[in-house]
């Protein structure tokens, strides 16, 4: 056998080993954290969701790279004695699926949220969005305002950022083929090696709870489909956001925003305080020194914010 063939054979064995390791980790992750909720079939997506409590409805939508565990970690149980609380895995996230990459665009994600509301017969819920989920929630308010009573946004993406936040830069991959190759080879091993560092960057300056990988569902991000879909979501996030900004002033429903002033992912002035001039009805609350992951790092503060937003929503509805 020639040296070239030997090297080729070794390369193939190495890649095959990475694929096998990735598949093994994905199985272990899903055995450790199986689906915790119900499933709802939509046109083009299958949604995994939690539905707890009773009363007026609050629907929670997580951000980039997250899943329902971001809210179930500490917020949901504080609200279920007063509200019917629903938390979804966005299409392509957690245990929810989507039919194509086109479903990653903000307009498509918003349409799924509106379809979910209609199919479950929810009566004008308060829609809550964290981070990228905030942009999706704003898009629901713009495209499907008849489905909602109001918005409560937590560290929302509202404008196109000047740069991709550092923890997400390795996910900024335009090529679908490259995304797929990385997802099934090096993404999982690198995720295992660098996961703690990335979480510290996302939570900064707040500490990462030791139980977040399990209780908060963080290890679900080690699966290859999670890497591929998060990368796809990131690449699609800017599409249509500029046109949304031009339409914000048309939103008439109550809007509340919660932001940490030391958010390391999305700047509270650029994405939060800038909304004052676009939404005269805006109720903006800033948490001094807090970071981006408020639903996990400050669940009591987040729950109190949502109660206040719901109260304001009822008062003006």
Closest CA to 262 of 283, 293, 234, 237: 293
Reported as a single tens digit per residue, the pLDDT across 188-231 is 999 999 999 999 999 999 999 999 999 999 999 999 999 999 99
Reported as a single tens digit per residue, the pLDDT across 291-316 is 999 999 999 999 999 999 998 766 66
CATH number given to 30-316: 3.40.50.1820
Give the global pTM. Answer: 0.95
Closest CA to 39 of 120, 144, 134, 132: 120
Closest CA to 128 of 160, 168, 85: 85
Q: Assess contact for 135 and 106: CB atoms under 8 A.
A: yes
Backbone angles phi, psi at 221, to 5 degrees: -70, -10
CB within 8 Å of 269: residues ≥ 6 apart: none
Q: What pLDDT does residue 1 have?
A: 66
CB within 8 Å of 297: residues ≥ 6 apart: 203, 206, 207, 209, 290, 291
Closest CA to 22 of 223, 174, 219, 170: 223
Split at pLDDT 50, 70, 90, the class of 235 is very high
């Amino acid at each position: 056998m020639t040296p070239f063939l030997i090297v080729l054979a070794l390369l193939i064995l190495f890649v095959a080993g990475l694929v096998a390791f990735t598949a093994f980790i994905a199985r272990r992750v899903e055995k450790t954290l199986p689906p915790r909720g119900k499933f709802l079939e939509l046109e083009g997506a299958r949604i995994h969701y939690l539905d707890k409590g009773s009363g007026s409805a609050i629907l929670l939508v997580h951000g980039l790279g997250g899943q329902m565990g971001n809210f179930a970690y500490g917020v949901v149980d504080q609200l279920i004695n007063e509200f019917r609380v629903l938390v979804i895995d966005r299409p392509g996230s957690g245990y929810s699926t989507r039919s194509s990459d086109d479903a990653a665009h903000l307009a498509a994600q918003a349409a799924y949220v509106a379809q979910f509301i209609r199919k479950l017969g929810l009566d004008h819920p308060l829609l809550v969005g964290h981070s990228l989920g905030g942009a999706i929630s704003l898009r629901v308010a713009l495209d499907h305002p008849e489905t909602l009573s109001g918005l409560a946004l937590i560290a929302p993406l509202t404008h196109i950022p000047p740069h991709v936040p550092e923890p997400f830069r390795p996910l900024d991959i335009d090529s679908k083929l490259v995304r797929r190759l990385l997802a099934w080879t090096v993404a999982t091993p690198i995720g295992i090696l660098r996961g703690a560092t990335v979480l510290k960057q996302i939570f900064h300056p707040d500490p990462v709870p030791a139980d977040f990988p399990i209780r908060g569902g963080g290890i679900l991000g080690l699966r290859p489909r999670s890497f591929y879909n998060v990368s796809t979501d990131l690449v699609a996030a800017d599409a249509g956001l500029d046109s949304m900004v031009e339409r914000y002033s048309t939103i008439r429903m109550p809007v509340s925003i919660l932001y940490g002033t030391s958010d390391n992912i999305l700047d509270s002035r650029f994405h939060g305080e800038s909304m004052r001039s676009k939404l005269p009805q805006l109720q903006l609350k800033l948490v001094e020194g807090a970071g981006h992951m408020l639903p996990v790092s400050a669940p009591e503060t987040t729950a109190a914010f949502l109660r206040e937003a719901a109260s304001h929503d009822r008062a003006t509805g």
